[in-house]
Structure 1
Amino acid sequence: MSSLRNFLRNVITLIVFTSLLCVGTAKAQSVKNQAIKYQNLLALIDAFYVDTVNVEHLTEDAIVKVLADLDPHSIYISKDEIKEMNEPLQGSFSGIGIQFNILRDTLMVVATIPGGPSEKVGLRAGDRIVKIGEENVAGTGLKNMGVRKRLRGEKGTVVTIYVKRKSEKELLEFIITRDNIPIHSLDAAYLLTKNIGYIKLNRFAATTSEEFLEALLKLKSQNMKNLVLDLRGNGGGYMQAAINIVDQFMDANQLIVYTKGLTTPRRENRSTEAGIFKNGKVVILLDEGSASASEIVSGAIQDWDRGIIIGRRSFGKGLVQRQFPLSDGSMIRLTTAHYYTPTGRCIQKPYNKGLEDYHMDILKRFKSGEMISADSIQFPDSLKYSTLINKRTVYGGGGIMPDIFIPIDTSLNYKYFNLLVRKNVIYPFVVNYMDENRDQLKKKYPKFEKFMKDFEVSDSMLSELVALGEKQGIEKNESDYLAVVDDLKLHIKALLARDLWDSSEYYKIVNKKNDFILKAISVLENPKLYDNGLKNNAN
C-alpha cells in the first residue's frame, strides 16, 4: 500500500500543479477527472488483482507511455537516473579522474585526467585495475556502468584500487581521494593554418561558454583571423550555452533565437555587446548528429548571413524541454515550446508518425541517397525562408540545410573497413600496441610535432591488425583493404596520438585528410568562394 500512497501523492501533486496552470477553465476540471480515473484504476488493481503487482513499476510504465505519445523528447526520469542524465551537462562529477576501457574483461586505464586524483598518486595509462576495494573486477564481466558506480562517489571519500603494471611483479596499491573531475565540452582548439582557427565542441554544457571563450581568446592571440567551428555529432545541451556562443559573433541586439508554445509566450534572446569575434569569417561544420543547441548556433549564423554552413542536414530537433520534479524524487522532462531561428524557422522534423518512424529518420536518409547527394532532398515552398541580409533561400521543418554539401565518408562503403569498426577491432589493437610500446614511443617522440612528422604505421602493424580481425571472423578482402588502407593508417596514428597526448592531437591528425576541413580551409582562403557561399540562391 505504501507504493500506492506514493503514487497517489504524485497524482495529487500533478493535479494541484496543472490546476494552477489552468485555473478557472474547463481544462482544469478535465485534468482532475482524468487523474481521479488513474487513482481509481490503481486502487482497484491493488485491492482485487489476482496476483501481486509492483504498483510503482506499473505507474512508471504508464507515465513513460503517456509521455512517449506526446513527442519523442518528453520523458520520465526516475530518481536513480537523474544524476546520470544531468551529469554530462553539469560540467563535472566526483571521481578518481581516469579514462578507462574494458578490454577482454580487463579494466585498463587509458589516461589519467591532468591534475586529477589518480595522476597525483601515480596511476598511469596502461595500468590494469584488478581490484576496487576488496572486490575483484578482473574477469568478472563488469560493464562500464558498474565501473563508474564503484569509482565515483562523494568528494573527499577514499577508494583503494589494486593495479597490475607491466613492469612490476606484484600488485600495486593506490589509495585515492575522490575529487571533482571536469567534463570538458571542448575536444580541440588549434590553428589549422597560420590564420584559420579550429574549435570542436562535443556538447553544450554548463561550462561550454567559458571553455569556448577561453579557446577563442587563445586562438586570437595566435593571430587567428577566421574560424572553423566543428559541431559534427554534437547533440546539443543547454540553450543558454548556445546563445552565449552565438553572442561572440554578433553585433548588439541581433535576434539569436526565440521560443514559443501553447502556454508559453514568445521569448526572444538577443545578442549583447560582449562579442569578441564580430568581424572574422566563420564556417560551421554540421552533420546528421548535430542537434538542438547546435542547430540554434548554426541557424542564427545562417539566418544573419554571418557565416557558411558546411556538411550535411542536421538532426532536426526544435523542441524545448522543461524539467518538473515529482514528490518521490523522480522528474518529468516535458516539451513546453518550440524554438525558432531569427527568420522564424522551426527546424523540428515531423514526429506525427510515431516514435519508431522518428528514430528511423537517419536510416531513411541513407536509403534515399541524401547522404551522398544534396539533390535528393526536396522541400515544399511552405518551408522556404529568406535570410535577413542577403535574402538567400534557407529551409525549415527538418534540420539546418548546409550551404555547401559534403557527402558521407566513402570508406564506410567498404565492408572490410565497416566490420573492423563495428566489431571494435581497431581500438583494442591500438591499446595492445600502446601497452607494448608506450615507453619507446614516449622516448622517441617527446613532442607531438615530431610524432606528427615522423611516425608511420608500419606494414607489420597492419598485418597484426588484419590478424586480430581474422580472429573475430573478419576475412581480409584485398580490394577493400587497398581502398581503405590509408584511412586505417590515419585512424591508427590518430588514436595513438590521443593516447600519448590528448584529443586535440587526435583531431590534428584526422583533420589533415578530412573532407569537411579541407573544404572549410578552401572556402576561407578564397574570398570569392566565401562571398559566393553567402550569396548563393540570393533573390
Structure 2
Amino acid sequence: YFSEEDLREANEPLDGSFEGVGVQFNIFKDTIMVVSPIAGGPSERLGIRAGDRIVQVEDEYVAGVGVSNKDVIRLLKGPKGSMVKVFIKRDGEKDLLEFNIERDKIPIFSVMAAHMIDDEIGYIKVSRFAKTTIEELRTALEELNSKGMKDLVLDLQGNGGGMLRTAINMSDEFLTEDKLIVYTEGRAFPREDTFTSYEGLFESGRLVILMDDGSASASEIVAGAVQDWDRGLIVGRRSFGKGLVQRPIKLGDGSAIRMTVQKYYTPSGRCIQKSYEEGVEAYRLEKYERFESGELLSVDSLDLPDSLKYYTRIKKRPVYGGGGIIPDVFVPIDTTSNSESFRILLRKGLMSRYALEFVDNNRTSIESDYPTEDDFVANFSVSESEIEKFKVWAESQGTEESPIVISEEDWTISGNAIILRLKAFMGRNVYDQSTFYRIIGDLNDSLQEAVKILKDGTFEKSDLAHRTFK
C-alpha cells in the first residue's frame, strides 16, 4: 500500500524528472551549499554555481537555523512555471546575490558515468531503470562508440531496478533481433514472451556486466538475457533475486496498492525471484544470511544442486536458478581494506564532508590548476599534509561515548582506500558524479576483474556467441 505522497515519491525517480529549481545541494555548517547546478536546469541557466550558499528563500532565512533536507526540498521544489526568489552568498561578492528562479522540469539522471577506461574499453554506470534511462544510455553508447569503443563494461552493481519496459529496451541494445528477452507467468495470467525488436547500438562488441547482491529486478532481466544468449559475461556476486510483476491499483483518495500477479523468467527458464516460502522475516534476512554463510567470500559456499541447473540458449553452458543471477566470474566482497576506522568514516560520511570543506576552501586554485576533469583525474593527489589534517579532523568528530581513533594498523589496512575516496569526493564536488566513478573504479574489484578478463584472453575462452573481436 502507498499513500498518495508515498506513491508520488516512489514514482519520481522512475519518471526520470521532478519539478524544481535544479540544484544538487548539501547542508554544510548549517548552510545550504550548492554542490552543483543540474545541467540544463533553471539554476544553471541563471548562473548559479557550485559553492554558492543559499541563505534566504523568499522571506525565510535558511542559514544558521538548523534547516533540514526536508525543509530545503519543501522550499525549492514546486510546480513547473512557478517562481521562487533565493538569496545567495558567493565567495568574492560583498553583497548577497538575488535570483528569481522559474521552476522547471528537472532530469533525474540514471546513467551516472560513461567514459573510456582505455583506448578500447568503455564503462557505463546505470543506477536505475527509469523512463529516460534508454535515451541516456543510447547517448552514452553513441559517445563511446565515437571514441573507438570495442568492449563495454556495464555496471549494474547496486541497481535495484525500475521499469520493465526499460529493461527490455536495454537488453535490445545488446542482443540481435528476434531474441527472447524475458517472459512472465502467473497463476491467473498466461505466459507472455517479450522479444528484441530493433538493431541496438552495441550488438557485437565484447560485453561484461557487473552485478552484486544489490542488483535487482530490471537489472536481473538484462543480465539474465545477456547470459542466457551467451552474449557476454556476468562478473561479481549473485544478484538480489527480485523477479515479481506488480500491477498498481489506484484508489479513490490518490493512494494505491501494488498487487503481485506474475514472476519474471529468463530465456533459459530460470525464475529470477528468490524463495519466500519460509516467511517474510526469512526473506528479509536472506541478504544477511549470504554473508554469514560465506557466499559473499567464496563461490564454493553456493549450494547448486542439479535441480537448479539450466542451459544457455546457444552454447548450452550450464547456468543456475534458485533466485537471482549467478555470475559467470565470481568476485568476492573486498574485506582487505575494510578496517574498523574505515567503516566508521564511511558510516558517518566523514570523507565526503571533509572533501566538501576542502573544495569549498580551495575551489579557485583547483579549477585553475586542473581546468578539466581529465587533468584532475590524471594529476591531482591528496597531499601528505592534507591527509594528516584529515586524520586530526576525523578524530575530532568523535564523542566520549563514540570516539574515533584511526590507528596505525587501521591506516595500513585502509589508508589507500581512504585517500582514493577523498580524491573521488573532491573530484565530484568540483566536476560531477562521473568524476567520482572514474576515480573510485580503482577500488571496484569487479571492474578490475572485468578489465583483466577483457585483456588476458579469458573472455575468448568463455565460449560465447554473438561476438566479434577486433
In 2: Cα distance, 1:355 partner to 1:419 partner: 30
Which letter does structure 1 place at the counterpart of 2:285?
M
2:125 alignment partner, SS class: strand
Do the aligned partners of 2:26 and 2:34 also contact (CA within 8 Å) in 1? Answer: yes
Query: In the alignment, which residue of structure 1 is the partner of 2:217?
Result: 292
Query: In the alignment, which residue of structure 2 is the partner of 1:432?
Result: 357
Query: In the alignment, which residue of structure 1 is the partner of 2:103?
Result: 178
1:493 alignment partner, SS class: helix
2:119 alignment partner, SS class: coil
In 1: Cα distance, 2:20 partner to 2:463 partner: 47
Q: Which range moved further: 120-129 or 241-250?
A: 120-129
Do the aligned partners of 1:100 and 1:111 also contact (CA within 8 Å) in 2? Answer: yes
Query: In the alignment, which residue of structure 2 is the partner of 1:445?
Result: 370
In 1: Cα distance, 2:91 partner to 2:166 partner: 44
Query: In the alignment, which residue of structure 2 is the partner of 1:532?
Result: 462
Query: In the alignment, which residue of structure 2 is the partner of 1:244?
Result: 169
**Does residue 1:498 correspond to 2:466, yes or no?**
no
In 1: Cα distance, 2:154 partner to 2:351 partner: 28
Query: In the alignment, which residue of structure 2 is the partner of 1:332?
Result: 257
In 1: Cα distance, 2:410 partner to 2:293 partner: 24
Which letter does structure 1 place at the counterpart of 2:429?
D
Change (3 A) 1:513 1:328: closer
Cα deviations by residue, 1:349-390 (Å, 9 ceiling, x for unpaired): 122333332222222112221111111111232222111122
Query: In the alignment, which residue of structure 1 is the partner of 2:401?
Result: none
Query: In the alignment, which residue of structure 2 is the partner of 1:194?
Result: 119
Query: In the alignment, which residue of structure 1 is the partner of 2:284?
Result: 359
Figure out how many residues of one structure are paired with residues of the other and give that number.
Answer: 460
CA drift of 1:296 comes to 0.1
Query: In the alignment, which residue of structure 2 is the partner of 1:516?
Result: 446
In 2: Cα distance, 1:89 partner to 1:256 partner: 21
Query: In the alignment, which residue of structure 1 is the partner of 2:70?
Result: 145
Which letter does structure 1 place at the counterpart of 2:189?
T
Cα deviations by residue, 1:505-539 (Å, 9 ceiling, x for unpaired): 2222122453222211121123344323759xxxx
Which letter does structure 2 place at the counterpart of 1:520?
A
Cα deviations by residue, 1:108-128 (Å, 9 ceiling, x for unpaired): 111111221112222221222
Structure 2, unaligned runs of 5 or more: 399-403, 466-470
Query: In the alignment, which residue of structure 2 is the partner of 1:90?
Result: 15
CA drift of 1:143 comes to 2.5
Max radius of gyration: which structure?
A: 1
In 1: Cα distance, 2:460 partner to 2:339 partner: 33
Query: In the alignment, which residue of structure 1 is the partner of 2:231?
Result: 306
Cα deviations by residue, 1:100-156 (Å, 9 ceiling, x for unpaired): 112343221111112211122222212222222212222333332232122111111
Which letter does structure 2 place at the counterpart of 1:504?
S
Do the aligned partners of 1:411 and 1:487 also contact (CA within 8 Å) in 2? Answer: no
Do the aligned partners of 1:129 and 1:161 also contact (CA within 8 Å) in 2? Answer: yes
Query: In the alignment, which residue of structure 2 is the partner of 1:345?
Result: 270
Change (3 A) 1:227 1:402: same
Q: Which range moved further: 394-403 or 514-523?
A: 514-523
**Does residue 1:381 correspond to 2:309, yes or no?**
no
Query: In the alignment, which residue of structure 2 is the partner of 1:391?
Result: 316
Q: Which has the higher contact order (CA 8 A, sep 6+)?
A: 2
CA drift of 1:182 comes to 0.7
Do the aligned partners of 1:411 and 1:417 also contact (CA within 8 Å) in 2? Answer: no
Which of the two has greater helix per residue?
A: 1
- Give the root-mean-square deviation of aligned CA atoms: 1.6
Change (3 A) 1:310 1:533: farther
In 2: Cα distance, 1:151 partner to 1:291 partner: 32
TM-score, normalised on structure 1?
Answer: 0.82
In 2: Cα distance, 1:385 partner to 1:322 partner: 29
Which letter does structure 1 place at the counterpart of 2:164?
M
Query: In the alignment, which residue of structure 2 is the partner of 1:507?
Result: 437
2:56 alignment partner, SS class: strand
Do the aligned partners of 2:37 and 2:48 also contact (CA within 8 Å) in 1? Answer: yes
Q: 1:218 aligns with which of 143, 158, 170?
A: 143
2:190 alignment partner, SS class: coil
**Does residue 1:128 correspond to 2:32, yes or no?**
no
Which letter does structure 2 place at the counterpart of 1:341?
T
CA drift of 1:254 comes to 0.9
Structure 1, unaligned runs of 5 or more: 1-75
Do the aligned partners of 1:191 and 1:197 also contact (CA within 8 Å) in 2? Answer: yes
**Does residue 1:414 correspond to 2:339, yes or no?**
yes
Do the aligned partners of 2:22 and 2:106 also contact (CA within 8 Å) in 1? Answer: yes
Which letter does structure 1 place at the counterpart of 2:407?
N
Q: Percent identity?
A: 50
TM-score, normalised on structure 2?
Answer: 0.94
Query: In the alignment, which residue of structure 1 is the partner of 2:412?
Result: 482
Which letter does structure 2 place at the counterpart of 1:109?
V
Query: In the alignment, which residue of structure 1 is the partner of 2:468?
Result: none
In 2: Cα distance, 1:528 partner to 1:455 partner: 33
In 2: Cα distance, 1:389 partner to 1:509 partner: 37
Which letter does structure 2 place at the counterpart of 1:303?
D
In 1: Cα distance, 2:253 partner to 2:444 partner: 49
CA drift of 1:237 comes to 0.3
Cα deviations by residue, 1:381-426 (Å, 9 ceiling, x for unpaired): 2222111122222111221111111111225531011111111111
Query: In the alignment, which residue of structure 2 is the partner of 1:166?
Result: 91
Do the aligned partners of 2:338 and 2:413 also contact (CA within 8 Å) in 1? Answer: no
Which letter does structure 2 place at the counterpart of 1:131?
Q
Query: In the alignment, which residue of structure 1 is the partner of 2:129?
Result: 204
Change (3 A) 1:231 1:528: closer
Which letter does structure 2 place at the counterpart of 1:492?
L
2:189 alignment partner, SS class: coil
Query: In the alignment, which residue of structure 2 is the partner of 1:258?
Result: 183
In 2: Cα distance, 1:98 partner to 1:125 partner: 9
Which letter does structure 2 place at the counterpart of 1:499?
N
Q: Which range moved further: 172-181 or 99-108?
A: 99-108
CA drift of 1:200 comes to 0.9
In 1: Cα distance, 2:337 partner to 2:290 partner: 15
In 1: Cα distance, 2:283 partner to 2:385 partner: 45
Query: In the alignment, which residue of structure 2 is the partner of 1:401?
Result: 326
In 1: Cα distance, 2:304 partner to 2:291 partner: 17
Do the aligned partners of 1:404 and 1:533 also contact (CA within 8 Å) in 2? Answer: no
Do the aligned partners of 1:232 and 1:289 also contact (CA within 8 Å) in 2? Answer: yes
